Structure formats: structure tokens, C-alpha cells
Amino acid sequence: MNTTKTLAIVLCLLVVAAGSAWAGNPGRQGAAGATELLIPVGSRATALSGSMLAMVSGVDAIHWNPAGMVRSNSGVEVMFSNLQYIADINLNYLGIATKVGDVGSFGFYIRSLDFGDIPVTTVENPEGTGTTYSPTFLSGGITFSRAFTDRIYGGATVKWVSETIERTSASGVAFDLGVQYFSEVGLKLGVTLKNLGPEMSFDGADMEYFVAIPGQEPGSRTRPLKLSGATFELPSTLEIGAGYDYKVSEQSSIALSGSFQNSNFGSDAFRIGAEFSFQNQLFLRGGYSLLTENNTDNNIYGPTVGAGVKLPVEGAAISFDYAYRVTDFFDANQWFTLTVGF
């Protein structure tokens, strides 16, 4: 058995053992912080319900599995994606990936949630004071990816996370780690650990208020009292995926993908997806995510579908992709993505 096969088998065994030890806990759902990190970006992988972590490549891999970023067909790729999320919330994402010779690939991303203007209410003015505020939730990161052999790829992302609500904010650092392995028979395997990092907590001027000390003289000034925000953990996940490309004809193919996600703050999930490609220019996609532990009633998201077109333009490749996810109680989620490679 060669070194590549040995490494792949050992890696899979370690991941299975880690997944068994780190079981998800649905009872803790809602107790994590910075859960915006779990919101998917990019239309292609989202249309497959996030199942393609073993096959994702290029700039799209920054979010899903940093190991695949080095497998881009372009020297430089730029991606902009917009998500029309629930409750009139939008998510904007910008990612850039570039190859640096034999060293590997470097990437950068920034994403922000747009909540719109929220009316300020008080006890005295429950209908609003006439003023508004808008929370600022930002994250950005740097990714490095390289090929260790012609079949094994690895990558890592260090990310900065910031949440600000008026004069109260929290910030922290997290890491993503990923590996992809391509077997001789065409089966592709992928593993990712996401959002690993220390706890965060909120602090700021709005955590202070003024109180009168009991027993003090009338007319004495009030004293400032500061509340300490409780710490919260990041929504870490362990994901294991597989994929296979099946050639239907000389002009068309089907990519099948599946993954399992274990979360420290929620139910485990199985995801499957399929992508039909015609001449590597037209694409149709579909996927589905299923929660385990009889917890399907807590999942407001249904099947995903999408389509894309890739156009070669004077030495560059321009892709337009769209994804749609069925959503209960809210309008359906929609992703619009533009990717340029050159």
C-alpha cells in the first residue's frame, strides 16, 4: 500500500472517531454565537445543499472546503454573491483566489449581513422613537491551499468575526481546516473542520448604566455600573463528504455528491446533491438536506435547485449562477452569483 492510500485511510479513520466523540446536541441549539458563519454563500454549492465539499474548487472552496481552492482552472478568480435571506436580511459576499506558482493558492474573502433599518423602541415609546439602527455583522478571512500530491489537497482559513449593535460589539478569530482526496477509481473524498476558535463576548458603552448607591445622601451623583456579557462558543462543525463524476456522453456529465455534517450546537445532517453539466457551459443542479435524530420539524429549509451558465470571453471565463431554497414561514432564499476567472 503506497503512502497516499495509507494517509487517506488513516485520515478517514481519525475523522470517523472524531465524529463519534463530538456528537451534536440539538438541546443547545440557539446557544451558539456568530451563527451567521453557517449561512451558505455561492449559488453552485448551495444549489447542491452544501453537499459538494469533496468536489468544490477555486474561489468557491474558500467557504466550503479550503482544500479545493488550489484546484482552480484559472490563475485568478473573483466571485461576488448576494443572498436574499429570511426576514428581509441580505448577505453580500466577495471572494478572491489566486495561484502563486508551485507554492499554492492564496485567497481572501469578506462577507456582511444587511439587516436594513430597525426602529428604536423604548418602554415609553413601544411604537418607536422615530430613530433607527442597523447592526453590523462582518467577517473576513485569508485562505491558503496547496497540493501535497496529485491526489491530496489541503487548505486552511483564518477568519475574523465581528458583530456590532450600536455601541455594543463582540469580535473573535476562528479557523477552517480542510482536506480533499481523489482516489484512482474516481471517488473523491473531503473533510472539513469549520469555525474552530475561542469564545466571544459582547462589551461596550451600552453595557453600562447609572445607579444610585443605597443609603447615599440625597442629591449625590449616580455611579456607573457595567454589566459583563456572558461568553459564547462559535458554531463549529465537522463535515465528511464524497463525490463522483459520471460521464454521460462526450458533451455531458453528472456530478453526484453527498456529505454528513456534525454540529456542536445542533442536529446532525445528511446532504445530497446532483449537478448535470452540458459542454461544461450549462448546468442544472438540485439537492436536499435531512436532519437526523427525529428533529426534522425544526428544519425550516427544504430542497434546493439551481442553474448556471459559463461563458468563455477573450481568455476569461464568466459564470452566472442561481440557487433557490424552499423555506417555511418566510420567502424562499435566493442566491445570485457572478464569478470571473482569468
Rounded mean pLDDT, 29-49: 89
- Enter the DSSP assignment of 186: S
Tens digit of each residue's pLDDT (9 = 90 or more) over 70-97: 999 899 999 999 999 998 899 999 999 9
pLDDT of residue 267: 80
C-alpha torsion angle, residues 195, 200, 203, 206 (rounded to 10): 60
Measure the CA–CA gap between 138 and 119, rounded to whole angstroms.
21
pLDDT of residue 291: 83
Tens digit of each residue's pLDDT (9 = 90 or more) over 243-282: 999 999 999 999 999 999 998 877 889 999 999 999 999 9
- Residues 6 or more apart in contact with residue 20 via CB below 8 angstroms: none
Q: Residue 66, SS3?
A: helix
Q: pLDDT band at residue 12, thresholds of 50, 70 and 90?
A: low
Dihedral sign of CA atoms 202, 200, 97, 308 in order: negative
pLDDT of residue 189: 95
| 49: region left, alpha or beta (phi > 0 left; psi from -120 to 50 alpha) | left
Domain ranges of the chain: 3-341
pTM, 2 dp: 0.88
Q: Which of 39-53, 158-172, 251-265, 287-301 has the lowest mean pLDDT?
A: 287-301
- Is the pLDDT at 182 greater than 90? The verdict is yes
- Is the pLDDT at 14 greater than 50? The verdict is no
For the 3-341 domain, the top CATH level (class) is mainly beta
Percentage of the residues of the chain whose pLDDT score is greater than 90:
68
Q: pLDDT band at residue 22, thresholds of 50, 70 and 90?
A: very low
Measure the CA–CA gap between 322 and 47, rounded to whole angstroms.
8
